[in-house]
Structure 1
Amino acid sequence: MTGAVIPYDTKRRREVITPEGIALTFVVASRAARFGAFILDYLILTFGAVALTFLIAWVAGGLRALDGAATSGAAEFLGVSWTLAWFLAWNGYFIAFELGPRGATPGKRAAGIRVAARAAPGEGAARLTAEAVIARNLLRDIEFFMPVILLMSAPTGQTGAAGVAGALWFLGFMLFPFFNRDALRAGDVVAGTWVVEAPRPKLPQALSTAVGARGTSDVTGARYRFGDDDLAVYGEHELQTLERVLRDGNPAALASVHAAICRKIGWHPGAGDERAFLEAYYAQLRARLEGGMRFGRRKADKFSN
């Protein structure tokens, strides 16, 4: 008996609706990609910890000339410094990178995935906030670090209550992503996030330097030039959304975004030339935002001044 073969990403494809009514498609990252990204990030942290350990050992070696309370106090200070540095690196590494514009650590970037906000059903697309990133990463200590400590602290040669507790704890959190369709870990559930594939293709440079920048349609010959008031209504978030829509090239999404922008800026160009209109608007909006950033002015989204 044979059945239809479903492409690997079909089951992981999700569609969300933005507040402007634009349908955006995301592909939930596979469990293998997430595990591989975590291993790579952990290796980076481990190599960093080893380098720090050698550095502290080298400093401690220079203290051997001292004796008495001075040596004891300095050694204790170095030990505390190592522990504090590891704690800050373990938590700060993930938080700092995921709060960045790419929403991904080096491991996630290598795996082609990123963190995104997971909107509740019926609420449309959501924004990834600092609170969500911090929450999902602080939960990692409970999911991974604490059970590993329990396992390592189990008595040698016997399981021990701590070892059993740590094993069950670790096993429960490790298997958690296999019991939900979005491969969410406990930190994702608490923070309202998920990890999705981050498409690598980008819009061609010609979009901003040739046709799009000139604002001239190859289809109708119409010339689209937007004033500051037309471009000031949107920011970086909307620019990224527009880039995604142009990259996907879905006709329905192009028409929807075209209508939304026209309503916002009060234009009535008619139908049939949506892509040329959006390419011109994208190119000129990007040029305006990049020009503002060169002078230290950033507009994160349409709600920013």
Structure 2
Amino acid sequence: MIESKRLYIRQMNHSDFKEISKMLQDSEVMYAWEHAFSDEEVTEWIDRNIQRYNNDGYGYFIVIDKYIDNVVGQIGLIKQDIGLGIGYIVKREYWNQGYATEGATICYAIRNLNVDTLVADIRPENIASINVAKKLGMKKISECDKIYRGQVMKHDVYQLKVTGLTTKIVEIVDYNPNWKYEFEKLKSTLEKTLGNSILKIEHVGSTSVEGLSAKPRLDVDIIIGDYSYLNDVVSKLKKLGYKHLGNLEVEGREAFSYETTSFMEHNLYVCPKDGKGYLEHIKFREYLRLNPDKVKEYSDLKKKLAKLYRYDVNSYCDNKTDFIRGIID
């Protein structure tokens, strides 16, 4: 049903009884339920999820590691009173291997959710599940009591805003000559709208360097004389559907987002001409354009990191830092 580099997830059926029992009848795995399931309860679990598929299009899915051809757990999307919930149950022998985070991430690929947020209700003592929620970008927003088998159980509620969310999968592809033409199309539209408010528009980042492997997403710097022009640029970009995000804790660079675009996917920044962000972008780009050996080295590094951190974009970026800083320095 949904596939990633390591995992395949599909709907469960009654032929999965044995594998599902290995999870639901393990008291350690079922810590949050405070009991292991009986055979009858496992059958009811399967029936309930088949009914969810028919009614909602989703439920708990079976998660299979393609490389070892084993069922490693379940990942679920479930309607709840507090919103559309996401849950994860992993066999004990596969704990701490990233299956819950990766499986939950690729669930975002289901496009008929029609929701603004996803939630997870987690027992406050369940540190492992809380850590998964945080890796997914969820934040605690409230607490609630759930009654299960006549017992009141306290839960923390974590939430993830998913409006316009795309799966944060690190994808590195070979250089595409078409990227420079995509940039020119976007640049032309921006220049017509922004006019004399700006000095120029630069294609930066990996897609701006011929021969460099990259994520298929442009990086674009709009250059202004100084911050006195920023408000005017923000106002004009708003008419094109861009939202100002601030500097996102990066000095000398104002970031913008969009919900939809007719152009190639891109990151858009507004930078003063003497700002650190812009100057470092240009230094890095020009150095690589003049040093093809470094282009190959950087391409190889990015491909290696993309395999290691396919579902962890923060770690992917962090592990490029030494290379980037070395060149800038």
Please give the TM-score of this superposition, normalised by the length of structure 1: 0.30
The structure in which a higher percent of residues are strand is: 2
Higher relative contact order (CA 8 A, sep 6+): 1
The structure in which a higher percent of residues are helix is: 1
Task: Please identify the structure whose Cα radius of gyration is greater.
Answer: 1
